[in-house]
Structure 1
Amino acid sequence: MVRVAVGVKRVIDYAVKIRVKPDGSGVVKDSVKHSMNPFCEIAVEEAVRLKEKKIAKEIVAFTIGPKQCSETLRTALAMGCDRGVHVNVPQLDALTPLQISKMSAKIAETEAADLLIMGKLAIDGDYGQTAAMTAAILDWPQATNLYSLQHNGDNATVEREIDGGLETNEIKTPAVLSVDLRINQPRYATLPNIMKAKKKKVKALKPADLGVDVAPTLTVVKIAEPPTREAGEIVEDVDALIGKLKDAGRI
């Protein structure tokens, strides 16, 4: 049986309309609903399914961010993870994917994980880099954009979503896996499991405990809302449409 580490991130809820601050320095986060990154929910679900199949013996969920991230970690524990690790970083926005990858790799090593499962990206930064860089730091095989996963002892068979279809690969473990939307449908945490999660152990760490320097190396110059889309124009027939496109230099 394998030990699984799964990364979870606290982000602004996907259903919330994002508002940019008047000075363009960032987005409004105060008094805004936050939740677990949707791709991280899928990663947690996949890890829990491995445990239900008697493949995983323990699931360690970890999160990196401010104290509010403990709520996200408890959600992962309520979904079925066994223990938690919280790396307290007050200013998550200042971190780069590389810094997060270094901490993720150290946690995977410390927890003796055989599989590290992550979402393919977080919906706030949209970098999609953390899983790949973590695999490089660990020097582990990686499989990205997973559509399906079958674990077979010291190796795994995975289907990856690619342009135009699916690609099947076999990789040896330990490995880093990043999951896509269609691999599963995450479960809801039930009230009894939410209550049980309050008693599960959560290890509190700081970046220094993992030997990672979190001094800001990335500066956000400006954030702006996308330009307002201009209203469309209704034309009478195809000939009129072609004429409009020619006039606009589109064809």
Structure 2
Amino acid sequence: MRIVVCVKQVPDAKDVRLDPVTNTLARDGVQSIMNPYDRHAVEEGVRLAGELGGKVTVLSMGPPQAGETLREAVSCGADEAVLVSDRAFAGADTWATTHTLAQAIKTIGGADLVLCGKQAIDGDTAQVGPGLAERLGLPYVTCVKKMLSCDGQTIRLQRLMDDGYDTLEARLPALFTVVKEINEPRLPSLKGKMKAKKLVIKTLTATDIDADPDQIGLKGSPTQVVRVFSPQPRGARTMFSGTVDEQVEQLAAELEKIL
């Protein structure tokens, strides 16, 4: 089975801050990490490949330093890594990103199964997985919480819902986005770290993947972020403390004042 896992390098959420002058994310001095949801996608890909036989390729679009995230994925069990990197990709929104990733997957020979994290913590759109499936012409399921069985042609799984879960069946090839409940990512092994250190990451440019110049980067992005800002607090705020029962009584008392 050929499994491709899409991963993204993102700023560490605990270090994220806004530049007060430009009102954009300040990235200087902020540590970058693998998107947390993508860790679970990598783990599930490695687990499935171990059970069914096959190869796991981790794929990322980003600057050269995104190679660090790919090496981390390999140290956790992935077999090979591909970085799609080109200045022409700068400023891409989810539409342009899915075109780039789809072209890259086609270039490396396609996949029987594509796995993505539910969403990236820096954008939180959850659009790339479904958009990529549409670009590749694949059926997809979002928010997968458990893989129940797979015979190499069909996968039975559970999809997380607000009030429980759905049990679904999908034929391969397909694309799934996963949530954190699906597994517990393993720690890098010593053997994996040694492999990752020696790994030669395959790097592809826009020309290598035959990307459409009108569908990549800022030029190919129909949406653009004009400004990012922290909303200012509005109105008076009251903090409740104590046990749950005590807080409920305090809330009831406050509501009585305005009613």
The TM-score normalised by the length of structure 1 is: 0.89
Aligned residues of 1:99 and 1:212 also touching (Cα < 8 A)? no
**CA distance in 1: counterparts of 2:257 and 2:88, whole angstroms:** 51
Structure 1 residues 109, 223: CA separation in 2 closer, same or farther (over 3 Å shift)?
Answer: same
Partner of residue 46, structure 1: 44
Aligned residues of 2:240 and 2:247 also touching (Cα < 8 A)? no
**1:84-130 alpha-carbon deviations (Å, 9 max, x no partner):** 11011448771111111112222332333100000010000001001
Structure 2 residue 101 is the aligned partner of structure 1 residue 95: no
**Count, aligned residues:** 246
Partner of residue 80, structure 1: 77
Aligned residues of 2:118 and 2:177 also touching (Cα < 8 A)? yes
3-state SS of paired residue (2:232): coil
- Among residues 224, 230, 238, which one is paired with 2:229 in the alignment? 224
**CA distance in 1: counterparts of 2:251 and 2:101, whole angstroms:** 53
Deviation at 1:47, TM superposition (A): 0.5
Deviation at 1:246, TM superposition (A): 4.9
Structure 1 residues 93, 246: CA separation in 2 closer, same or farther (over 3 Å shift)?
Answer: farther
**CA distance in 2: counterparts of 1:234 and 1:72, whole angstroms:** 42
Matches within 5 A, 1:165-176: 165-176=164-175
Structure 2 residue runs of 5 or longer lacking an equivalent are none
- Amino acid in the other structure paired with 1:164: D
Deviation at 1:24, TM superposition (A): 3.8
**CA distance in 1: counterparts of 2:201 and 2:9, whole angstroms:** 16
- Amino acid in the other structure paired with 2:156: T
Matches within 5 A, 1:119-130: 119-130=117-128
Partner of residue 208, structure 2: 209
Aligned residues of 2:89 and 2:217 also touching (Cα < 8 A)? no
Partner of residue 254, structure 2: 244
The TM-score normalised by the length of structure 2 is: 0.86
Aligned residues of 1:157 and 1:170 also touching (Cα < 8 A)? yes
Structure 1 residues 215, 108: CA separation in 2 closer, same or farther (over 3 Å shift)?
Answer: closer
- Amino acid in the other structure paired with 1:221: V
Matches within 5 A, 1:136-147: 136-147=134-145
Aligned residues of 1:77 and 1:197 also touching (Cα < 8 A)? yes
Structure 1 residues 234, 101: CA separation in 2 closer, same or farther (over 3 Å shift)?
Answer: closer
RMSD: 2.4
- Amino acid in the other structure paired with 2:32: H
**CA distance in 1: counterparts of 2:4 and 2:61, whole angstroms:** 13
Structure 1 residue runs of 5 or longer lacking an equivalent are none
